[in-house]
Amino acid sequence: MIVSPRSRMALLGVAFVLLGTACATDAPPPPTDPLEPLPLLPAMLPDDADLAARDAAVALWADDPAGIRSRREQLEDIDRNHQAAGDPVTGLVPFVRDAEIALVPDARERRDLYRELLEVDNLDPALETRLEAEVSDDPLELAERRIRDARIRRWGGYANSLTQSVGRNVANPTVLPLKVAQALVRVGLQAHLEDELSVQERQALQHWKDFTKRHPDAEEASAVLARIEDAQARWLETKRDQSLRQARASLEEGNSHMAAAFAARALRYLPDDPEAAGLRVQALSELERWQVERARSLETTPGRLQRAGEVVELARALWEPGADLGAVANHFLESAPRDERADEARFVLATAAHERGEELVGWQILEELADEDVERSNMSRHARALVQSLDANPYQGFLDANALAQSDRYRWLAFGPLSSGARDRDLPRPVEWLVELPSLAGVLWGLPQRLLQFPFMTAERRSPGVMAYRYLERFPAGAHEQNVQEWLLDYEQRRKNHVGAYRLAAGSTLVDADELAELREAAAAQALEVAEGEERRDVRVRLLRQAARDFKGTVAGHQAGLGVRRELEQFSPQRIRITRGFLEENRAVAGPNGLAIRPAFLDGELANGELHPDGLSLLGGRIVELAFIRERGDKGDAPELVRERISQERLTRVVTQLEESALHAIRTDRDLSREPDAARDTYLERARLGAVDKADLRAEAGSTYTYMGVRERFGAVRGRESILPVELVLQGSFSDFALGAFPRVRLPKSTTDAVLYR
């Protein structure tokens, strides 16, 4: 048969398609039975080593050192016999020795014995880590480390300031002396602002106290007590200085109440301190003056009245419901315009104007009253309090916040880092300005850069936005409603708050119908994004429902409705995930003594079917959800999920292996830590005990914790800090166009408990 060239090409194409199909590496569909039957655990008779370990544990609970020692010697004999016969040793001797040392009453002797035990070869990694922690828990050694850290942080910080100034300006000798002078000033200010007793020294003080409490008869106790006495005196000075600093700041802010309290606290630390006594006297004097003014503003002495009847009528109108305050106040002012109670009538007139909805008239009257002399007007202070109140007069607060934001921009343009004045350095204000004099040159040099940045800088709008919303809430039909709404719409659109912009535009004439429809779509998409990003399931479902209800008819609203259905279909009391990386690093969890996943799903061969990198999830009860790679074989695709209801025995095994593996990893890896999760721990404990058949459906009882592998958490190569005490830094600045390299002392990091000593 003769085959035409075109037919041959078609046959060749079909052959290539068949060959490609045959050679494809797509994964097969997920299995219907991904778990193997649990292996039967054979009954094992205890040998002599097992019985000796048991007796050692009993002796430990009974506080019997002799019993533990005898069992240790017995295990040592067993290990010697195993070595003579060429069999592996039991490995139990270090653990029994650890138990024996734990019963030694003296902590210093225990640490010495732990040091000897650490010299044993082939210690279990978890035991070795714990012993190292025990050895390092020496109060005197810890105190010396903290003292060394304090010295390095103090003197290293001084050195870093000097080397940074020299290194960044060594190529510009004309400004080098000025920069060095600035660095010296910074070092002096840093020393001035430092506490007398640093955080690290406070930690050392606590360690010394712990040592004297544990070892009162030690030969080092007398020297340690002397150091405690010196540090305690410096600690009292530190607390005194902190209280004085807060008292001075309170006086500068006009808060005499707080100033008096802080000065009194300083006197409690050092009763004879003259500065604290002087500050307290000054604060009490200011407080007394404030109380006199307050009492005068509240006094009710009637004095001589020209028209007592009109005053009584005005007072009665304030108490009677439905009285015409405006008419009564106007009658009083017409009959007695110069009476000493006339300002009270004007205040009542302003109140009546507000009640009638005449907002502008009411505030005009109050502003005129606020400008009058407080010595001659009874209501001036009250009117001024209302005018300046952000709650009562939010529109004025809105205008003031806008003006302040604009002035901040121009002050920054003119003065740069000194836009808010000289920085607070706990010095007299003139001295603080003298300290800032060397930085004026930098302010001038940075002006061209600020001119370039200024057109792109926007004024701070958060505070005006808060006041604008407060105005609309307090005066929904106020005189400035339209202007405030237009400003808020622009504000919300600029910061991409589409939901807020749509709520402002809906029901108003700010935008046309087409723009309102676009805003609605954008707001729906934003609401959907926020709802899907919520971690708590109950809150997420509530937000999705609200988005579907509020934005019905939009694309995102439809997706939110589908999201609600998906959440209800995929609901589970728990979702504790175990990634594939964790399973590969901890084979016991997925192995025969754990969940017993078929080995073919973890062998890396896609043709056999593979577990997805997401791993598996414990969904509450006895339900396990396994994630498999889809038929396309792409690990980046969403997984194919298979749910299995497992037996209580299998659940107990997997939970036990999971917790053992996680705890062992934490004990042997210094970089690992286990985040607290009460819901996770509760479920795992109930699962181990077989008490999960009745699921806890409360939202706060659900956990979304994820067990991740070390490589997944830290990557293939972990970042390690250099052990060198000095590092080379390359640094530049656009503000003064400086560039240079300089050495920097590597300062010690704070310990995890340092926050307790601040």
| Coil/strand/helix, residue 735 | coil
Would you state the pLDDT for residue 238?
A: 92
CA distances from 94 to 66, 82, 132, 138, 263 (A): 16, 16, 14, 22, 59
Report how far residue 509's alpha carbon sits from residue 532's, in angstroms, rounded to the nearest whole number: 32
Would you state the pLDDT for residue 751?
A: 86
Average of per-residue pLDDT across 698-702: 83
Would you state the pLDDT for residue 502?
A: 93
- The residue to which tokens 């994964």 are assigned: 27
pLDDT at 148 over 60: yes
Over the stretch 510-538, which tens digit does the pLDDT of each residue have? Answer: 888 889 999 999 999 999 999 999 888 88
Residue 312 — very low, low, confident or very high, per pLDDT cuts 50/70/90? low
Over the stretch 206-231, which tens digit does the pLDDT of each residue have? Answer: 999 999 998 888 888 999 999 999 99
Would you state the pLDDT for residue 201?
A: 93
Exposure letters 210-237 (e unless 16+ CB within 10 A, then b):
bbbeebeeeeeeeebeeebeebeebbeb
Report how far residue 276's alpha carbon sits from residue 81's, in angstroms, rounded to the nearest whole number: 77
Would you state the pLDDT for residue 722?
A: 73
| Coil/strand/helix, residue 719 | coil
- Top-ranked range on mean pLDDT: pick from 323-332, 417-426, 508-517, 709-718: 508-517
Over the stretch 382-393, which tens digit does the pLDDT of each residue have? Answer: 888 899 998 999
Residue 314 — very low, low, confident or very high, per pLDDT cuts 50/70/90? low
Report how far residue 561's alpha carbon sits from residue 568's, in angstroms, rounded to the nearest whole number: 11
- Which of residues 392 and 455 earns the better pLDDT score? 392
Would you state the pLDDT for residue 536?
A: 82
User: What is the percent of the chain with per-residue pLDDT over 70, rounded to a whole number?
Assistant: 90
pLDDT at 734 over 70: no
Residue 198's φ and ψ, nearest 5 degrees, are -70, 170
Average of per-residue pLDDT across 718-729: 76
Average of per-residue pLDDT across 58-78: 92
Domain boundaries along the sequence of the chain: 48-137, 152-194+721-758, 308-388, 576-711
Would you state the pLDDT for residue 613?
A: 92
Would you state the pLDDT for residue 3?
A: 43
Would you state the pLDDT for residue 22?
A: 40
Residue 611's φ and ψ, nearest 5 degrees, are -70, 135
CA distances from 122 to 91, 93, 96, 110, 118 (A): 9, 12, 15, 21, 10
pLDDT at 167 over 70: yes
pLDDT at 29 over 80: no
Would you state the pLDDT for residue 106?
A: 85
Average of per-residue pLDDT across 163-186: 75
- Which of residues 619 and 716 earns the better pLDDT score? 619
Would you state the pLDDT for residue 21?
A: 38
Residue 9 — very low, low, confident or very high, per pLDDT cuts 50/70/90? very low
Q: Which segment of 424-433, 463-472, 534-543 scores lowest on mean pLDDT?
A: 424-433
Report how far residue 613's alpha carbon sits from residue 629's, in angstroms, rounded to the nearest whole number: 8
Report how far residue 342's alpha carbon sits from residue 314's, in angstroms, rounded to the nearest whole number: 11
Average of per-residue pLDDT across 200-210: 93
Average of per-residue pLDDT across 164-169: 76
pLDDT, mean over the chain: 84
User: What is the percent of the chain with per-residue pLDDT over 90, rounded to a whole number?
Assistant: 38
Residue pair 243/270 in contact by the 8 Å Cβ criterion: no
| Coil/strand/helix, residue 336 | coil
Task: Give Cβ neighbours of residue 296 (< 8 Å, ≥ 6 apart).
Answer: none
Can you give the C-alpha Rg of the chain in angstroms?
39
Q: Which DSSP string do the residues of 125-170 spell out, in sequence order?
A: HHHHHHHHHHHH--HHHHHHHHHHHHHHHHHHHHHHHHHHHHHHHT
Q: Which segment of 210-219, 311-320, 344-353 scores lowest on mean pLDDT?
A: 311-320
**Mapped to the 3 state alphabet, what secondary structure does 163-203 carry?**
HHHHHHHCCCCCCHHHHHHHHHHHHHHHHHHCCCCCHHHHH
pLDDT at 123 over 60: yes
pLDDT at 301 over 60: no
Report how far residue 91's alpha carbon sits from residue 125's, in angstroms, rounded to the nearest whole number: 12
From the list 605, 603, 623, the residue with the least C-alpha distance to 693 is 623
Would you state the pLDDT for residue 604?
A: 84
Q: Which segment of 8-22, 413-427, 578-592 scores lowest on mean pLDDT?
A: 8-22
Would you state the pLDDT for residue 413?
A: 87
Would you state the pLDDT for residue 300?
A: 54
From the list 389, 398, 391, 394, the residue with the least C-alpha distance to 370 is 389
Average of per-residue pLDDT across 588-606: 90
Over the stretch 335-344, which tens digit does the pLDDT of each residue have? Answer: 766 666 778 8
| Coil/strand/helix, residue 758 | coil
Token pair of 550 as six digits:
């509020």
